Amino acid sequence: MVLRPTLTVPSHRPLSTHALALVLVLIAFVAVFLRIAHGRQRRNVYLTCPPGSIGHSVALTAHSGLDKLVMPFDDEDTLKRKFAGMKFRLDSRTGSVVVDDSARYATGPDEASMSLLAQGSP
């Protein structure tokens, strides 16, 4: 009686294996090229936390004043209404997220700013 294996090892075709290896090597070369090409631009970027982490988000928005505007119980419609007309940008000095005042008041003052202006006048 001769025992035959029931599991067969899948055979790899040499052409497809070499094509996949070539694609992976090309991707690696492109990644190395991009890293070297943009190294000078990345040199002046100082990050307080790893990008994409919660700490990074908190560090970017810490001094933006968004904590006074957003409440934990706000739903999506309320947030859309609160952020309507606001433009955000990165502060070139600190790197934090701030509201761009020039874009906010380009359409004219809103009710809140008009009431503040009215309170200051005699």
pTM for the structure as a whole? 0.36
Quote the number of domains for the chain: 2
- Token pair recorded at residue 21: 């290896």
Confidence (pLDDT) at 30: 97
Q: Which is higher by pLDDT, 115 or 14?
A: 14
- Same domain? For 23 and 79 the reply is no
Q: 92 and 39 in one domain?
A: no
Token look-up 């009431």 returns: 115
Structural domain including 64 reads 49-122
Matching residue, tokens 């809140």? 112
Q: What's the pLDDT tens digit per position in 18-66?
A: 999 999 999 999 999 998 998 888 777 777 677 778 877 777 777 777 7
Say if CB 85 and CB 101 are below 8 A apart: no
User: DSSP assignment, residue 95?
Assistant: -
Mean pLDDT of 79-106: 73
Band of pLDDT at residue 121, cut at 50, 70 and 90: very low
Q: How far apart are CA 45 and CA 54, in angstroms?
A: 19
